[in-house]
Structure 1
Amino acid sequence: MAEFLLSKLAESVVSQTVQRITDLLIHEAASLRSVKEDVLLLKDDLRSLWAFLKDADSKQEHDQRLRDLVLQVKDVAFDADDVIEIFILKVTSSYVKAFHNKNVRIQLSFVRKRTRGIFRRMQNYGIESVAAEGTSSTAELQRSLRRSSPNDDEDHDVISLERSTRALTAELTKEEDRLCIVSIVGMGGLGKTTLAKKVFNSVKQHFDCSAWVFISQRYVPKDILIEIFKQVDSSFENTMKFGNNKYQKQRYLQEMQEHELIGLVKAELKQKLYLVVLDDIWRIEAWDSVKRAFPKGKKGSKLLFTTRNREVATFADPLSSQIEPPFLTLEESWELLQRKAFTRDIVGDGSCPLEFIDLGKEMAQKCGGLPLAVVVLGGLLSTKNSLDEWKKVMRDVNSYLSKQESRQQYDGVHEILALSYHDLPYYLKPCFLYLGNYPEDYGIPKRKLVRLWIGEGFIMTQTEGMTAKQTFEEVAEGYLEELINRCMVQVDKRDHTGIGVKTCRMHDLMRDMCTLKARNEIFAQIIQQHESNMSINVSATSFQHSGNSHSRRLVIHPGCDLYWDTHPTCTYFGMHVANASWVNQVHPNLRSLLCFGGALSLSALRLSNFRMLRVLELRVVDGSKIPGAIVPYNMSKEDWNDVRIDELKDIETLKDIPSSVLFRYDALNKLINIRNIGIDFEGSSNDDVRKVLASPIIQSGRLQSLNMYISSGDGFPSLESVSSCHGLSKLNLKGKLLEGMHSNNNHTLQFLPASLTKLILWRSNMEQDPMPVLEKLPNLRFLRVGSDAYRGSTMVCSTDGFPMLETLVLFDLVFLKKWTIEKGSMPSLKKLTIDEVSNLEMIPEGLQFVTSLKELNIVGMDNSFCDKLQVKNGIEGEDYYKVRHIPSISIQI
């Protein structure tokens, strides 16, 4: 499948280059004026290659000529990008003369010549027409190996599916007065089909008729409909088995039109209680092509999907439940491994000899709870009879899991997981491969990830389905959601809304597959700890098709030696370096340098080597001065002095910006695309605060996150202007809030928008209890009130208040003595923290009725308060009954 993957990744590379050239023609029109015609011609040539690659099919997967051509396509795209960017760099640095125009035309002409040569060879090989001819024998073999049947004997592979089995059985036997579609979702190898078979065989007698059809990525609607009809029409089976013309009806069905088959199946099912399984359905289009064949049927009729794509399940039936089998525990993995590795005919009762146990458990853990991996590994170990052979397998488990075991029922684990990669649209492939840059077991922050994708140029402005009003960040977040829905990426933590993603991660085996594909594509060069002090010869593992074999992306993992100094040990690009073997991978066309661990001196960045760098992720050491061309993520106030903030018209996020900067060059009225902003009002007058609150930044309604800090003066004036921020999700206010200035002495907090999901108030100096206002916010999930935010002695949370609140933090409220929680308040609360509320007399009585509470943290409270909440020497404290229902209680005196 390697050549197929190459063509798909090359497709994304070329598409990005075409988009990049389009953007440059728009934004760098003046710089490119003298060579515009040449650039446009090159763009047209690349579009022709792109069209070919979009139509390329895995039919050519063993064609070495195609492999070579695809690699050349990637190089041409990279070279085109280089030529144009270097030219712009020279123009903008006033380093261009007439001969440079001539020189760039020569280079562009050479790139175009190479492009036309590639296209001619494609035509000569007839590659452009093979996509419609069918699929490769290897791809067909892979699908046939995976083709499922409810009669397959997989009892040996069923481990710990009790909970999922009960849930699925309940869904399939539930009598609802509509056609329900139940879905089993999850990543490849999780046991979806195994679960479906187990339940299908146990409940099918409950139905008048049933059918099981394998769909796969390359489905044919007509074949699906025929197979369903054959299984649900008993008379057809009788004809096939006992009729004199047993193939006549089959031939008749094959000659029918698709719409006729839909009518035939529909008529057969209309009066029946039926169950139909569509196993391994990948796309919404597959369901659309056959859904008209399924009538409501008798009450309780069901369809069952197995799919890797949650979008398919949701689209088909938004009201129905989705069941996701859990990963195996270590104990369950070991039990399954024993079943596969030690069959009864080899070892009496199928149990493992004692000397194999420790090694076996260690290998079981390597499978990451993925049933397919355990089964494949167990099948391999069943052929290894000695401890030495097991040790050999243990030394390189991953390579064994990635190999295809052609004599077994399953392909290699990597190949099964790679099917999800094959199915990705071209624009998602680089986004997925980028995730392989992160270290193993790394919680990947969504906000940083989407910004890196944007910086890399992965987010296309002309992607299918993108609306004109969407920002790059919104599109990137959509890409991540699509990868999550395809079960290729796992949600690690949800954000304050409880819906959005805060961090994500990849299953170890999915990451292994990802990094393998990325390495084969020279997508990124990753320097890991064990490699950082040894020389790495990339060219030895790179394809020798051209001189452009270096990756454009260099990634340095935690634990690597990043020391780069002037102590003489060796010389590199005219500079002395020490213990810095990673610099061997630095080359003039490097686009990204990602340092995920340790800290790096920026002296290296003054080298001309980094002239093409687009993305830089690192921590700075040694007080290194940041080069002027770099705008750092965290900017001290001094850093803002040389920044023309008004020219950043498309910028969406600004952190900790001094308010004075916003008044320069009328930036307040120009930064209309801001979505997230943090403003420091230190030294500003009340008039300045009012001007900012009345500016388009606030009034546009685009804001999603707003942080404002006032450490002195009269504090915040009325928050009435914030009420127009209907999309505002996060609000952080540090500073005094003025009270009693509104009619009927209404609280200034009344103007907070209903869209808020996270609110932080500190140093607000409020005299009125804020809870009666805040508890009416319908979407609030996170609330933090502290540092003298409230100076009153009593606080009340009313019945039905805070309907969605999940996390509440009270800290440093030294005046608060009595807190009342009425029954029915905070019905969704999961986490409560009371931190240094030193005069609070007791835990609220009503806390015993907050049954949703899972975690209580008590910090910095005195002994008498804490003793009431604990059990000592078997004796319960007097307030223990209020908290006994909470699973996790942490007390730090």
Structure 2
Amino acid sequence: MKDDVLSLQTELRRMQCFLRDAEKKQEQNERVRNWVAEVRDLACEIEDVIEVYIHKFHLSYIKAFLLRKLRTQINSIKDKSRSLLDSTQTYQIKFTSSGAREGIRSLRSLRRSYPDDEEDIVISLKDTTVALKAQLMTEEDQRRVVSIVGMGGLGKTTLAKKVYNDVDIKKHFDCFAWVFISQQYLPREVLSDILMQVGFQSDQNERSNLEEEKYTKESLEERKSKREILKGLEHHELVNLMKFELEDKRYFIVLDDIWSIDAWYSIQSAFPNGKVGSKVLFTTRVETVALSTNPHSPPVRPPLLTSTESWTLLQCKVFQREYFSEEDFPSQFEAIGKEMVEKCGGLPLAIVVLGGILRTKSSFDEWEKLRKHVKSHVISKLQLKQQYRVEDILDLSFQDLSYYLKPCFLYLGSFPEDSEISKRKLIRLWIAEGFVPTVGNEDMEGITMEDIAEQFLGELIDRCMVQVSKKDHTGKGVKTCRLHDIMRDFCISKAKKENFFEMMQLQEMNMMIPRAASIQYPTTAHSRRIAIHANHGLKRRAPCMEQVHPHLRSFLCHGLNTDQHMSFLRTKNFTLLRVLELDLLGKDICDAQKLPSEIGSLILLRYLTVSGICTLKLPYSIGSLQNLNTLDLRGIHYAFLPWTISKLGRLRHLLFPEGYSTIHGTIKRSLFRNSTLVNLETLKGILAEDLIRDNAVLPLTNIRNLEIKNFRSDEQVRLVLESLSSQLDRLRSLRMQLMTYSSNFEFPSLKLLSECRVLSSLSLTGELSQLNFSFLPKSLAKLVLEEQFSLDKEKLAILQKLPNLRILQIMDTADTINYKWLCSVDGFPKLEILTLCDLLGLKEWKVEIGAMPILKILNIHRVGLREIPHGLKYVSTLRELNISSMPKKFRDRLMVNEDGLEGKDFYKVRHIPSITFSKTRKG
């Protein structure tokens, strides 16, 4: 049997090599396409047999039964394999081993940055922008809806972003919000998103007396608390709250990608007239939506690009990287490029995607080959009397992807429409699915699978197939990404054709269903991946849960009732699962739910995440999941965890609930003492007392990202730092939180942190008054300091010399004597975002010319300053100033009143496009 399994492994490698060659031929030949599908299915079947053998064969009591079953499967596989491989000569498919490391050959020089997509390239929108701004800035008593209409990929969202971030628009309106509506909109979520952006008071007493409200620190924790408040409100309560918040403001709210007039009617009552000139901006593909909301005002229609404009846009996308020398470009590439760009029909999305393909082609021969490919596609379309469409360009881009990148790209289609996709989550899913090759040779020493996966994402971004939503704290990497809705539709369609995954959009029969419904597919027993997206509160059981899925590898569920998820896990319909994502909805927000013990039978499971409920109890059988790489419980508030999770030897990412968690068992013991959790790279939300028992901490030999909460003594802090001493050169992010509300101790010496060479993010919560900040490593890009530390001029002098610091958040609740700040020339050279919160002792702040030269966002929240620094006048890069819980006199000095008179300090901030005020206090 062992020899048979080894031969299957050899056969699997051979099939993968054949597939690399065959996939290049399948688009031109239906028979080859069918052959590829059969080989791909057989390869997956071989993988299943091999994994089951490896992970079950050690169980002696089932060996005899398992041997018979496996031998039958192996014989069947061999018969299929012989038949399929005999066809390779017929289809002229060759064995290619050169692609074995395809897609990762450039990893020795890993790139950690991506094209700068913060500012979309805007071609030929000047006249349209002027017309749109004119409509938005008209002052009318009634709130008015303005619409941008056009086909998908025309640039509607790009135009909306341009005006949304326009300097004049930012100064004209009081508050702003941007919400994606999409086809599966939920009115409650739309209203909640708007309220989170425009701001709202947390309770009725605050709302009834804004001038005398008691200040509550607007930290990340409060934002989470506000989201919980909104979750508990009924639809009509959200409507009333939003009307209250907007009725005395001139607001500008963008509803992006709205598909039906019903979507607007379901939330329209929440939009009051507000102050004179309030506007709502739609982007939509449906003309009737625009005309129904405002029949007397014509919608704005972005034009298709001319030939010259199309070529200009293509150049911007292709040549922003130095693939070509300037002297080579005009003569060799212009004619070919212009011929290809004409086939895009002036549609910006098609041109951008074509540019993404050409960006990867560094020679004239490669451009010529692509031109011939495009031409053959056009000719075949003409023969069928069909037009060459944007979908054809997308398909061309997909076919140009490497063997490894294709499944990575298709997987993106399984996420909800218009969602921001976390890079870290995506990478962990790719690895769990087996899309990322293992690192196994000397040339790749020091490179992890996460590094390879990040390179894959970087190439998809370079090719303009994936968009960057947010950059990470370093400013070079990606934090979140997203798919254009047309690209996502292509993903879903392609995935269905290739039996890659199946999508289910579920809604209650009595709920409003958008007219432009998204693609829905019935699932089959042959499905390998299923993604369910349901309206929250769906009561009926998903049909796929009734079926047996012997080949299912991924089950991604969003929005189904808790009982449905729990009951299906008690069946044996999903024995080969590798990925399980449960976004649950309990009967009550505080319901305690228990994951069934049967989950322990999913021995191949690599990724498990649970979210959406208040309290979860994991069974002891969780310790049987010996292949688990990721256990993510951040989306719940409280968890009971069995000590058996210490047996998960392959666990690399362990993320505890946001609120609190506890370890339980017949013998309560340290999670890490005598455990096998030596491969952990990410550990977040762990309580200090669960990490430390009997004065012992297991060395976290591979840790990169660490978050520890509720230290109860300085001795506990010392123990953890000492245990990390040999791993400091790997640590990338660290967060430590003292138990500040019930203790009077402070951080001990943190000198060891100065040895962290790659630490880019550090967050410290607790007493820091006696510490010298010289321990801060120069590699820091993000620094968060909370609670009590008395930021005097000596500490500030150290902070402003940190050469890579981009984000600084200071929240100090200490009752200190008054002090002054001086930001000197060349201080904070890389700082882009500065947040000052609760610094009541800060009475004077001087900013010298040359300080903070690239600052973009400044947040001031309940600070003791009497006036804004004069030196901000010279920080020309500053584009956002957000002020809250400051005295009325402070605010008035920065405003232009209704009579047009400028405040005393307005000259200091005149150049800043966006200035917002909230929670003004008396004084």
Partner residue, 1:781: 806
Between the two proteins, the alignment pairs up a number of residues equal to 609
Q: Which residue of 1 aligns with 2:730?
A: 702
The amino acid of 2:779's aligned partner reads: S
Q: Counterparts of 1:797 and 1:430 in 2: how far apart (Å)?
A: 50
Report if aligned partners of 2:685, 2:708 keep a CA contact under 8 Å in 1. Answer: yes
- Which residue is equivalent to 2:860? 834
Corresponding residue of 1:723: 754
The 8 Å contact of residues 718 and 738 in structure 1, kept in 2 or not, is answered as no
Contact 1:640–1:661, Cα closer than 8 Å, also in 2: no
Partner Cα separation in structure 2 for residue 310 and residue 716 of structure 1: 54
Q: Which residue of 2 aligns with 1:848?
A: 873
**1:813-892 alignment to 2 at 5 Å?**
813-837=839-863, 839-872=864-897, 873-892=899-918
> Which residue is 1:737 aligned to?
768
- How many Å apart are 1:693 and its aligned residue? 1.1
Match of 1:682 in 2: 711
Aligned: 1:79 with 2:45: yes
Map 1:424-573 onto structure 2 (within 5 A): 424-462=401-439, 467-530=444-507, 550-559=526-535, 562-563=538-539
Rounded to whole Å, the distance in 2 between the matches of 1:491 and 1:464 is 32
Q: Does structure 1 retain, via aligned residues, the 8 Å contact 2:735–2:763?
A: yes
d(CA) in 2 for partners of 1:698, 1:659: 19
Please say if residues 9 and 50 of structure 2, whose CA atoms lie closer than 8 Å, have aligned partners that are also in contact: no
* Deviation, structure 1 residue 434: 0.6
The whole-number CA distance in structure 2 between the counterparts of 1:273 and 1:432 is: 30
The alpha carbon displacement at 1:652 in A equals 1.3
Partner residue of 1:611? 575
Q: Which amino acid counterpart does residue 75 of structure 2 have in structure 1?
A: S
Name the SS of the counterpart of 2:14 in structure 1: helix
Q: Describe the shift of the 1:58–1:616 C-alpha distance in structure 2 as closer, same or farther (beyond 3 A).
A: closer
C-alpha distance in structure 2 between counterparts of 1:714 and 1:159, whole Å: 59
Contact 2:555 2:581 in 1 (8 A): yes
Cα distance in structure 1, aligned partners of 2:549 and 2:816? 60
- Picking from 685, 692, 715, the partner of 1:656 is 685
Query: Which residue does 2:35 correspond to in 1?
Result: 69
Partner of 2:556: 594
Query: Distance between the aligned counterparts of 1:779 and 1:728, measured in 2?
Result: 11
Pairwise CA distance, 1:830: 0.7
Mapped to 2, the partners of 1:464 and 1:561 lie a distance apart of 50
Please report the TM-score for the alignment, with normalisation by the length of structure 1: 0.61
In 2, the alpha carbon distance for the partners of 1:92 and 1:499 equals 46
Distance 1:312 1:719, change over 3 A: same
**Secondary structure of the corresponding residue to residue 590 of structure 1:** coil
Q: Which residue of 2 aligns with 1:633?
A: 633
Shift of 1:718: 1.5
- Relative to 1, partners in 2 of residues 1:889 and 1:488: Cα closer, same or farther, differing over 3 Å? same
The alignment partner of 2:834 has SS state of: strand
1:801-823 deviations in whole A, cap 9, x for unaligned?
A: 11111111111222222222222
- Taking the aligned partners of 1:653 and 1:624, their CA distance within structure 2 comes to 26
* 1:234-633 paired onto structure 2 within 5 Å: 275-277=331-333, 307-309=355-357, 312=360, 404=381, 411-462=388-439, 467-530=444-507, 550-559=526-535, 562-563=538-539, 578-584=540-546, 587-597=549-559, 600-601=562-563, 602-603=565-566, 604-620=568-584, 621=586, 622-626=591-595, 627-628=618-619, 629-630=621-622, 631-633=631-633
* Contact 1:668–1:696 (Cα < 8 Å) also in 2: no
Aligned in 2, Cα 1:533/1:587: closer, same or farther, shift over 3 Å? farther
**Partner in structure 2 of residue 353 of structure 1:** none
Counterpart of 1:96, as a letter, is I
Q: Is the 8 A contact 1:676 1:705 kept in 2?
A: yes
Structure holding more strand per residue: 2
CA contact (8 A) 2:504 2:521 kept: no
Long gaps (5+) in structure 2: 98-121, 128-151, 156-303, 320-324, 339-352, 365-377, 512-516, 596-617, 623-630, 647-671
Q: Which residue of 2 aligns with 1:643?
A: 645
Does residue 810 of the first structure (1) align with residue 810 of the second (2)? no
Q: CA deviation at 1:661?
A: 3.6
Q: Tell me: CA distance 1:625–1:701, structure 2 relative to 1, closer, same or farther (3 Å).
A: same
User: Is the contact between residue 858 and residue 890 of structure 1 (CA under 8 Å) also seen in structure 2?
Assistant: yes
Cα-to-partner distance string for 1:472-498 (whole Å, 9 max, x where unaligned): 222211111110011111111112222
Contact 1:866 1:891 in 2 (8 A): yes
Contact 2:532–2:558 under 8 Å retained in 1: yes
Give the TM-score taking structure 2 as reference length: 0.59
Amino acid at match of 2:457: L
Q: Take 2:481 and 2:908, find their aligned partners in 1: how far apart are those partners?
A: 36
Aligned partner letter, 1:102: R
Give 1:780's aligned amino acid: L
- Give me the whole-angstrom Cα distance separating, in 1, the residues matched to 2:761 and 2:576: 36
Seen in structure 2, the aligned counterparts of structure 1 residues 501 and 110 have a Cα distance that, compared at 3 Å, is same
Report the alpha carbon displacement of residue 53 of structure 1 after superposing the two structures with TM. 1.9
Equivalent of residue 782 in structure 2, options 758, 764, 771 = 758
Q: 1:512 to 1:637 in 2, by over 3 A?
A: closer
Q: Is the 8 A contact 1:736 1:766 kept in 2?
A: no
Distance 2:831 2:719 in 1: 33
Please give the alpha-carbon distance, in whole angstroms, between the structure 2 residues aligned to 1:48 and 1:532. 49
- 3-state SS of 2:70 partner: helix
State whether residues 22 and 32 of structure 2, in contact with CA within 8 Å, keep that contact through their aligned partners in structure 1.
no
The structure-2 alpha-carbon separation of the partners of 1:650 and 1:404, relative to structure 1 and needing over 3 Å to count, comes to farther
Structure 2 counterpart of 1:127: 92
Provide, for residues 118-151 of structure 1, a one-character-per-residue CA deviation record: whole Å limited to 9, x for no partner: 112334x25335999xxxxxxxxxxxxxxxxxxx
1:68 Cα shift? 3.3
Aligned partner of residue 639 in structure 1, secondary structure: strand
Question: How far 1:76 sits from its partner (Å)?
Answer: 1.5
2:20 touches 2:96 (CA, 8 Å); kept in 1? no
Q: Judging changes above 3 Å, is the alpha-carbon distance between structure 1 residues 312 and 881 closer, same or farther for their aligned structure 2 residues?
A: same
Contact between 1:444 and 1:504, CA under 8 Å: does it hold in 2?
A: yes
Judge conservation of contact 2:123–2:309 (CA < 8 Å) in 1.
Answer: no
Partner of residue 296, structure 1: none
Corresponding residue for residue 232 of structure 2: none
CA contact (8 A) 1:785 1:810 kept: yes
Q: Counterparts of 2:891 and 2:753 in 1: how far apart (Å)?
A: 40
Residue 276 to residue 54, structure 1, CA distance change in 2 (3 Å)? closer
1:47 partner amino acid: R
Shift of 1:58: 4.7
Q: Computing the radius of gyration over CA atoms, which structure comes out larger, 1 or 2?
A: 1
Q: How does 1:26-65 map to 2 (within 5 A)?
A: 35-56=1-22, 58-59=24-25, 61=27, 63-65=29-31
Q: Give the conservation status (yes or no) of the 8 Å contact 1:796–1:820.
A: yes
Compared CA separation, residues 640 and 632, structure 1 to 2 (3 A): farther
How far apart, CA to CA, are the structure 2 residues paired with 1:281 and 1:663? 63
Decide whether the 8 Å contact of 1:690 with 1:717 is kept in 2: yes
Counterpart code for 1:511: R
Structure 1 position 70, deviation (Å): 2.1
What residue identity is the alignment partner of 2:535? G
Q: Secondary structure of the equivalent of 1:56?
A: helix
**CA gap 1:129/1:88 in 2 versus in 1, 3 angstroms:** closer
